[in-house]
Amino acid sequence: MSADEVARRCVAESWSPATRYALVTSTLRVTGRGQSATGSNRGGWRVEERPAVLARLEKVAAELVRGLASGDLAVDEARDCLAESGFASAIRFAATADELAAQLTEVLRVGDNVWVDCSPVRGGVIYQRWWADPSHPRVA
């Protein structure tokens, strides 16, 4: 299966008529050569592994999910908050199923291949956390 086919299948299984938005977190990749061989490449990026940065990423994602689920955060405000956070490469926001499919295709193409659904019970928000796991096959 191609990355696009896997993404569309994930969307078909998770997006429902009650869904209003989706938030996807993926591996945070930052520019610059990594200090260790794991997670870095010749293309000039490295996987962010500092606990404080990852905790901040999770906090931003959680705030966005809470705000969207409660209705306290509008679409434009969520996009602005995401742009200002500095985590736009690792947190993606979708307001439609097609937008989510495109974002999941991108996530799969950069190497993330495992996900867990962390969606709140109410509020019509999908929250998926993606990461790369070498024990699972990579989607091409």
What pLDDT score does 35 carry? Answer: 52
What pLDDT score does 139 carry? Answer: 77
Contacts of 55 (CB under 8 A, 6+ apart): none
Helix 75-85 to helix 51-70 angle, to the nearest 10 degrees? Answer: 170
Q: pLDDT digit of tens for each residue in the chain (140 aa)?
A: 899 999 999 999 999 999 999 999 999 988 765 555 455 455 567 889 999 999 999 999 999 999 999 999 998 999 999 899 999 889 999 999 999 999 999 999 988 989 999 999 889 999 999 998 888 877 76
Q: Is the pTM of this model over 0.95?
A: no
3-state secondary structure 110-123: CCCCEEEECCCCCC
Q: Are 60 and 87 in contact (CB under 8 A)?
A: yes
What pLDDT score does 41 carry? Answer: 53
What pLDDT score does 37 carry? Answer: 46
Name the residue ranges covered by the structural domains of the chain.
3-131
